[in-house]
Structure 1
C-alpha cells in the first residue's frame, strides 16, 4: 500500500482510537457527574419526604401528649383534629385498646371503625407496634374516597395508680399518597428525574414494597435510605434521559470525528503534495527521454558535489554521438531518440552507481566520476567508447559511434565550470581527429566555446547543384537511405516516403528493367577494378512510370553505421548534352573569328 494511502489510514485509525478514548472519558465523567447530582437530589428530596411523613407522625404525637395529659381523655376531638388537618391528611383517628372509635372527619370514614388488634390484615403489625413501643406505617392501600393512603399508627402508653405503664391504644393519621410528598416529587419531575418511593412491607421484613413511583422506566437508580420507627424506606431516582448524555456523546463524537477526518484528508493532501513536489523536482532535474539528469539537474548536482568535497578528485566527461544529424536525416527523429536512449542505457549499465549521468541537450551527455583521476579512468573511458552501441530500425540493429573527452579536477581545473570547459576542449580535439574515440584533457588544448565542425548534412545535401541519393552498396540487397529534394523533383516523387514505397527502398528499382543487369554489372566492374568512382548512363524510372535519361556519378565510401554505401549525384543527360553542345559551338565560333 502506498505511503500516501497508508499514513492517512493510520492517522484515521489512531484518531478513531483517540476519539473513542475521549468519548469514553467524557461519557464516564458525565455519568459520574449525573450519579453525583442524582445522589444529591435523592438525599435532598428523600430527606424532605421523610420530613413530610414525619410531619404527619407529629400529629399522632400531639394527640398522644393530650391523652397523656388528660389521662386518656380527649375532649372536643373534632375541633382538635380539625385544627391539625391539612390537604395531605385523609383523616385523624383514635383507637383505644386498638379499636378505632373516633374519626375526623366522620363523613365517609365510618368503615374505618375496626378492631386493629384482631383484624386479619392489620392485627399482626398493630400488635408489633404495641409490643415494641414503636410507630408503624402501613400501606399504601386504596381509599374508599379515591386515591391511596398510608396509615401511621402511634402506640400511646399511660400509667396507672401504681405508676405501671399500660397500653392505652393508638393515635392514627391516614396520609394521602402522593399528596404528602407532592412538593418533592413535582420538583424532581421538573428536574428531569424518574423516581420511586419504597418501604419494607413490615418492620420485621426485608422485602420492599413500592409506595409511589413515576410513570417512566427506572434503570440503575441511585437511592437514599431512611428509617421511620422500625421501618426502612428508600427513595430511588434516575434521570429520564438515562445516565448517558447521548446528545453530548453524539456532538463530541461528531466534532472529533470531523476533526480526525479533516486531519486524515489534510495528511493525504500533504503527502500527495509532497509526492507531487518530489515528482516535479525529479521532472525538473530529469531528462524525460533517457531517464537521467538533464542539464539543469546535472550541473546543479555536479557543482554541489565538488563544492562539498573540494579536496576530492573528480573526472568529468563530455560525449556525443558521431554524425547524429545523419541518423535523424536518414532514419527520422524517432530513431534518433532511440539512439539517445540506447546510449543513456549503456551509460547506466557501464558506469558505477555513484557516477553522475546527465544529458546536456541534443546528443551531448555528461559524466561525473568521484574519487578518481584521469589516469585511473583512462582504460574505462576507452572501453566505454569502443563498446558497441546500436538502436533498432525495422527489426535490425543499426550501429552508431561516440566521441568522448574528459578532464580531472583539481589537476586541470579549479572549478566545476572550468572542468567542463576542459572536457569540452578534449571532446573537440577528438572531433578534429576523426571522431569515434576518447581523449583526456592536456595542457595546450583550446578550451572555451566549441567551434562549428561543419555544416548540417541536410543543409549541404539540399543545396548541392544536383540530385543526390545515398544507398547501401550491396550486390544483392541494396537499400535506399536518403534522397534530397532536387532528386525528388527530378524524378517526380512528392516526398521521400513515396520514393521508398514505390521503389521498395531499392536503387535497382530506379533503373529501367531492361537495363538493370547491365547497369549493376557496370557499377561493380568499375568498383572491383579499384575505382572509388563510377560513371553510368541509364534511364531513371520516374514516379509516373516514365523514364529520364541521366548520368550517374557514384562514389563508394565506408560508413561506421552502415558499412559500404554509395553517394550518388545525378544529371539530366539531355540537358547536359544541350549545355555542353552550346558551349562547344560558342568555342568553335570564337575560334573561327580568331582565325579570320
Structure 2
C-alpha cells in the first residue's frame, strides 16, 4: 500500500510542484513581457512626442515670423502675399493677419474669402480670441472642420506694439491654419508602421482642462501608455497602445511548451535590455559632462540654463563667467599636467563654495560659467567678490602654488532677453576685467548689448 502511494503520490506531487513552478515562471515572464512592452511604448511615446512637438512648433513659428514683420514695420506689413507665399508648405491651409482682431488678409485668398471675420466678436472664436488678446498668449483652437475639406488647428498669435513711452497696445493677430493630420503626418504614420494604435488629444482651451480628440484611432484605448507635453500653455497628450496589446498569448503558449529553454532566452534578452539602458544613461551623462573637472561641459551647461529660463521666464538670475589669470603662463612654467590640476582645483572650489542649485560649467580651456537662479546682482555681488578674492591653489611636484581668477557677471532680465544674450553680457564683463589688466578682479556688465 505504501509503495503504491509512493508510486502515484510522489510523481503527482512532483508534477503538481513542477506545474506550479512552470505556471509561476510563465506568470513572471508574462509580467516582465508586459513591462518590457510598456517600456518600449513609453520610449516610442517620448520619441514621437518630441517629433510632434517640433512639427507643431515649426508650424506655429510661422506666426512668430509674421509677428516680427509686423513689429518691425510698426504695424504696417507690405507685400503680405509674397511673404506668406514663402512661408507656405503642405501642412498649412492658410496664413492670415487680423489687425484689431479682424481678419483682413488671407493667403491663399482663393476659397478663403469667408474666413475674413471679426475674431473678437465672433460667437465661436470670440471668447478664446479675447483671452489671447488680454493675456498676451498664443492660442490654438480646433481641430476645426475646414470648408475646403479636412480639419485644421487655428493658431492665433497676439501682436502688441510699443510706443515711444514704452506703453504697449494691441495691434491684432498673426494667424496660421495648420492642417490635421498633415502637420504631424510623419510621426503618426511612423507610430502606425511600428504597430501602435494612438490617440492625440489637447486641452479644449487654456481655461478648460477637458481633453478634446485631435487625431488617431477613434476607438477608446484600453490602458494605454500616456505621455503629456505642453505647447504654449496648452497641455497635449499622446496615448499609444500596441495593436496586439501588451500581452502576447501565443508567446506564452510557446513558453509553456518549451519550458526552461524559453525562460533562459528571455532572461538573456532582459539582461541585454538592462545593459543597453545602462549604456544609454552613461552615454547621455558623458555627453553633457566635462571629463577633466566632472562639472557640465558647454553643451550641458547651456541645456540646463536654457531649461531653467524657459520654465521660469519671469525670475531674475545671474550668469558669471570666469577664467584663470595668466593660465598660459601656468602651462608654460609648470606643464600642462599642472594646468589641468589648477583647472580641477578651481572646479572643486566652485562645487564647495556654491550651493547645489547653482549650475556650474566649463566652457573650454580655462573658462568657466556659473548660473545662479532666482537672485539679483545686488544679492550675489558680495558672494562673488568673496569667491574671486579667495586664494586658489594647485600643486606641482609636491609644491603648492597659488593663482587668481577674473570674473564677469550679468543679470537677467535686466540686461538680456535670453540665455545667449546673457552669456554675451557676462563674457563682455569678463573681457573688460581682462582689458584693465587687474588680476583677481570682477566686473558687472551695466547697460545693454
Classify the TM-score, shorter chain: 0.5 to 0.7
Q: Which has the larger radius of gyration?
A: 1
Paired residue total:
259
2:161 match: 158
1:304 match: none
Q: Does the 8 A contact of 2:199 with 2:218 survive in 1?
A: no
Q: Does the 8 A contact of 1:125 with 1:202 survive in 2?
A: yes
Q: CA 1:258–1:198 in 2, change beyond 3 Å: closer, same or farther?
A: closer
Partners of 1:179 and 1:258 in 2: how far apart? 47
Partners of 1:12 and 1:127 in 2: how far apart? 74
Alignment partner of 1:197 out of 192, 196, 200: 200
- The 5-angstrom pairing of residues 535-550 of structure 1 reads none
Partners of 2:107 and 2:156 in 1: how far apart? 15
Is the counterpart of residue 177 in structure 1 residue 180 in structure 2?
Answer: yes
Partners of 2:219 and 2:24 in 1: how far apart? 32
How far did residue 15 of structure 1 move? 1.6
1:208 match: 211
Partners of 2:99 and 2:11 in 1: how far apart? 86
Partners of 1:4 and 1:141 in 2: how far apart? 76
Is the counterpart of residue 241 in structure 1 residue 239 in structure 2?
Answer: no
Partners of 1:80 and 1:258 in 2: how far apart? 66
Partners of 2:20 and 2:261 in 1: how far apart? 14
Q: Does the 8 A contact of 1:194 with 1:216 survive in 2?
A: no
Is the counterpart of residue 144 in structure 1 residue 175 in structure 2?
Answer: no
The SS at the match of 2:111 is coil
Alignment partner of 1:253 out of 241, 256, 263: 256
How far did residue 215 of structure 1 move? 5.2
Is the counterpart of residue 51 in structure 1 residue 54 in structure 2?
Answer: yes
Partners of 2:129 and 2:44 in 1: how far apart? 34
Partners of 1:227 and 1:257 in 2: how far apart? 47
Is the counterpart of residue 86 in structure 1 residue 89 in structure 2?
Answer: yes
Partners of 1:168 and 1:207 in 2: how far apart? 31
Once the two structures are superposed, residues 511-545 of structure 1 have per-residue CA deviations (whole angstroms, 9 ceiling, x without a partner) of xxxxxxxxxxxxxxxxxxxxxxxxxxxxxxxxxxx
Partners of 2:171 and 2:122 in 1: how far apart? 18
Alignment partner of 1:230 out of 226, 229, 233: 233
2:63 match: 60
Is the counterpart of residue 121 in structure 1 residue 94 in structure 2?
Answer: no
TM-score using structure 2 length: 0.56
- The 5-angstrom pairing of residues 191-590 of structure 1 reads 191-214=194-217, 218-256=221-259
**Greater than 4 Å deviation, 4+ residue runs:** none
Once the two structures are superposed, residues 150-193 of structure 1 have per-residue CA deviations (whole angstroms, 9 ceiling, x without a partner) of 00011011013433101111100000000000000111111111
- Unaligned 5+ segments in structure 2 are 263-449
Q: CA 1:255–1:64 in 2, change beyond 3 Å: closer, same or farther?
A: same
Q: Does the 8 A contact of 2:100 with 2:173 survive in 1?
A: yes
Q: Does the 8 A contact of 1:201 with 1:208 survive in 2?
A: yes
Once the two structures are superposed, residues 82-104 of structure 1 have per-residue CA deviations (whole angstroms, 9 ceiling, x without a partner) of 11001010000001111111110
Q: Which has the higher contact order (CA 8 A, sep 6+)?
A: 2
How far did residue 41 of structure 1 move? 0.6
Partners of 1:258 and 1:14 in 2: how far apart? 19
Alignment partner of 1:31 out of 22, 30, 34: 34
Once the two structures are superposed, residues 359-394 of structure 1 have per-residue CA deviations (whole angstroms, 9 ceiling, x without a partner) of xxxxxxxxxxxxxxxxxxxxxxxxxxxxxxxxxxxx
Partners of 1:172 and 1:147 in 2: how far apart? 18
1:41 match: 44
How far did residue 9 of structure 1 move? 1.6
TM-score using structure 1 length: 0.42
